[in-house]
Structure 1
Amino acid sequence: MKKLYTILAAAAVLSLAGCTKEMIQDTDVLEPEFEGEEFVICATHEDYEESPSASATPETRTTIVNTKEVWWNATDKLMVYPTTGTSGSQFRANFAGSATAKTCYFTGTLDTKNYSEFYAFYPYSAAKSYSSSAKRLTGTLPAEQKALPNNIYKDLMVSYGSFTKNDRSLKMKPAYGGLKFTLSRDDIKSIEFTTNGSTALAGDFNIYFDKNAISAAGSDKTITLTAYSGTAFQTGVNYFIVIVPQTLSKGFTATLTTTDGKKLEVSTSKKISVKAGVFGTLAKPLNEYASAVKEYVDLGLPSGTMWATFNVGAEAPEEYGDYFAWGETEPKTDYSWSTYIWCNGAYSKLTKYCNQSQYWDSTDPMDYKIALDSNDDVARANWGSSWRMPTDAEWTELRNNCTWTWTTQKEVNGYLVTGSNGYSIFLPEAGDWDVIYFKRSGQYWSSSLGSHTQALCMLFTDSYYFDSSCPRYCGLSVRPVYGALVPVTSIEPLKDCDLEPGKTEKYTATVYPDNATDKRVSWGSSDESIAKVSQDGTVTAVSKGKATITAYSADGSKTASCTVTVAVKPQAVNLGLPSGTKWATFNVGASAPEDYGDYFAWGETEPKADYSWETYKWCNGSNTTLTRYCPASKTDFWGGSGSPDGKFLFKYYDYEDDAARVNWGGSWCMPTEAEWKELQDNCTWTWTTQNGVNGRLVTGSNSNSIFLPAAGYRRGTSLYDVGSDGYYWSSYLYTGNPSYSYRIGFYSNRVYGYYSERGDGFPVRPVLPPDK
């Protein structure tokens, strides 16, 4: 059975000087599905206070009338919840022949059979959820607010209260507070009000009915207030910023945007307590608080970069301002290398911002930086941490996305730079200082290094404007941009590569994130005698060896590296042998036929300093304790676990112990005993000297030849017989005594095959099979 119940709501009396009547439109909302009895409540608002200083006074939602009271509107709605239930219902204002009223009846549907106590929340549209167990209602306060002269816009006067089914009188308490302010300039169209602390000003908040407490639960630290008329705020009238009650322990910052696109930041660090039911009145017009930053303009650029309206050292767009050497933060009278802070008196003696070693003159490691540190940024140093010098990319964006018109403004020549949104800045033809001579033109620094001695800049005259560079010591103008850099977080790893001397490889560094402000990189080599790298990422191999190539982020904080191995690729020579086996032109570890290359113990793949049984890889310290490559019958030579492995060729372990295969890859391998004997029997071996190195010239039946240098051998830590004897390993194990392996040997009047201890260090001359 349905009955009509009415509760009476009276509007809150407001101590608000100079309030005017303002009708507020409401928005339609969806009604919850609910069946029960119709119920009418009578609602009023509590009085609210006004604080005379910046610590706050509130109002409640609907209409502020000139009697300093908040009145209900005919379109107002409440959300009502049973105190022990979870489903809410909508109550609508019930007016009789009037559009507004101090006291208002609200009509809605309630389940009075199961519930007798209820909580009410205003406005209906701001209620999100209710927890009966916690007696907590979650509502939301908009971060985008309209500003009405001497009034508060709809749905901002958040309030709450309680009633019972027997006592339908409802007195609403304010759940919001804020600041009341005026403006003394008539060109402000929007205001962004941001806390200097960490708490949220708007968004979700919680009301705890049983504790009569309110707390922020959202993440909106900024409230944007726009003029209700859509044009500009009026001067000399009161406006209100509505926020969730809290303490602004570090004050606030307000960003004021003018009708011509300029932005001005004002700030106070004064602690401000915003209480429910209280609006703090700012002691002076908002725009007259201390300026946190200079004015800046949004030119509608793709990156969103904001540009200052005048130069560092100036106070108006037409003023030239001061002149600065690149990376210096104070003007001076003498602009030259001898006075430049980041060198030792000359361009070839740089102490910071350098990626070319021949110009570095510091005991510290070269920094590879190509962008200014924040401490050396003149805009930041003079205007504060919100400002910085533009990057070269940002000057390019300004040049490519704006209209540049040569003009005269207040008798000063320069360019009016107009963005796609119609807003503009003026760049005066401020000239520059070179040594002590002043020159006419417009030159503006970027924060980007060009070469070791030059930094990138914007250059213009009345007939052209383009990207340029200038010696770092010169005195140029600086036009700042507003906002923090987006830093580089990482550089994608670079891939290693192998190069022959004289060959090149082009590297490209991928920088993250994609929207990093400065995505340029600087390149460096750990050893330029092995591999050089140019600043476009091109690596040039110089000589045999390994070098680390590194890409540095512009500020030097992030890197990515790779190893470049420089080696001459061996050629495979067909000597007309019956088997078709091809022989390499030089030894493993060499880069020319006459180079001795590296020395290897048999079955090891890296050179070392000591060639002895104590250091041999495949034994336990002696020739009778072998751990790999031992015939099954030679148990007296075995020192490994279990029985001898019975292996005598590298192929049985997939060539992982073959010095040729491991170092050269592909199908290269150490020659077998049979292949050495084939070479000995089918070629002419001539003792000779080639490029000052003794050895054997081995010539095949087809007249092709290879040169085997007399490289001697290593035992222990000594090198023997260099220049007189040559010894070269085969891949064959001597099965009669597995501590020996076959090798070829020669000197001036003899070539012979024999066996040597596996722990000795011999050169390796690789071969390729016929089909390779």
Structure 2
Amino acid sequence: MIKLNIMKMLNTQVNILKLCMAMLMMFSFVACDDFPTGSKDEESETPYTYVDMGLSVAWAAYNVGAEAECGVGYYFAWGETEPASLENIQTYKYGDPFSGQMSKYNELDDKLVLEMNDDAARKHWGGYWRMPTTAEFMELLENCIVEPAAGGQSSQNDVTMDYGLRFTSKITGNSIFFPAAGYYDYYRAEQLGFGDQAYYWSSVLEFLNEDQQKDVATAYSFSATLRDEDFAQSLLYAKRPMHRYMACNVRAVYDTLQASDYPFVYTLQYDANGGSGNMKTMSHNKGESIKVAANSFLRDGYYFSHWNTQADGSGGNYDINQVFALSQDTVLYAQWKEIPEDIIAMTQGFENNYEWADLGLSVKWAVCNLGAATPESYGDYYAWGEAESKTSFTPDNYVTTSSDAAQLSMGGTWRQPTYNECMELLEKCTCVWYSQNGVDGCLIRSNINGRSIFIPAAGCYFNIGNLSLGFQANFWASTPFDPVQYPNLHFRFGFQPGGFSGGYLLDNDYNGMSIRAVCQ
């Protein structure tokens, strides 16, 4: 199963378009000349050339692992510091790509930015060199003219690529060159895009949109396709999701502004404030962007409302998924609201002999998965749009169709939920990993009326079987992602220990997933 966590890009495209319009006016070919005007890191024992672009950080003149600006240098999986090769690309230090389970930089530790011991630039160059953040890449794009560049200087020790991107500062006139060295593909164990595409890691895990928690399988890269007909368009999508176990180049930055006080580490603690349960205390670097965690506490007779810096609610409010930077040790206290008893009594019933739960949303949700007799039973598995369940899921046995298995099987007003209905469920409920009658899964409790449903961890079937059984609770949405450009990708929603696993995920239509129906 390939988790392609592709953002809803409307807002992002507009923002990047604004940043790139000035760049797109100039698309002439330029030569890759001698090293641009720059300096050495004279204060440390890492004398690597950097270039003053007039920005918040200075940019290295060449890739980590290279000796000249047209040298390819090393490829790294995100979070790894040992160079990747085609022989070792199908391993990943921090998790299993096929199961989607990551052992670090995940929902449990809530880390968004690479620690220095996982930063390839710091590991190889030392000093105050590090990998750039997403914001620093966007700053570079906004303040530079970007052109395809041909030709160039290299060291005899380098593997070279003399075609790539030239970034020329609008502020200082200095420039840096990014060779189009492609990337190493985990699944194919081969190099792709060499001479045609440039992929460079940022140090940041980001959110696909404001409604989502961190995607545990995806970091961000910056890329561009250099073919004439594709170059302008590719810059509009320069910030793009990239599976973190793929291997890309790294271009370091020299952090001259924060070098003197790095690092400061602060803690973020969550307090149940009258509730029960446990949430992990997290450590974050000064200025690191973090996302407020989903609540995992429970309190009988109450539902969770929001977080506050004071137990009595007199401090600053923080919502789930809100992003902020720590400037001191912080405790966030759960804020609770009492559930009226008269509401609880009116929140369940039957439609065509199938039980529903009313969570106070636009639709009522089935109590069980399709094909299950109890809430904790896994039920049947379906490829997207197929009417019949099965136990083997491959591209070869997929039947292209758009059937609604829930409506066909349950009748009445039952049907599969839309993308918007799934997002409503997540935005207006608290999701807690839970064991019900010995079965692990996700307890989803309404923040409106306190009613809950249980989604068992039925996993997901793909080519080689169900590798996430017992630790992922998934179900299909009825909404296709992009029927024209990506007709085989469809929305699914999933949960795993630590909360909701990424807003929405995209899966191939032939994969096998549970269905949780809704009715009017």
Q: TM-score range by the shorter chain?
A: 0.3 to 0.5
Task: Choose 1 or 2 for highest CA Rg.
Answer: 1
Structure with the bigger RCO (C-alpha within 8 Å, sep 6+) is: 2
| TM score, norm. by length of structure 1 | 0.30
Bigger fraction of residues in strand: 1
Q: Could you tell me the TM-score, scaled by structure 2's length?
A: 0.43
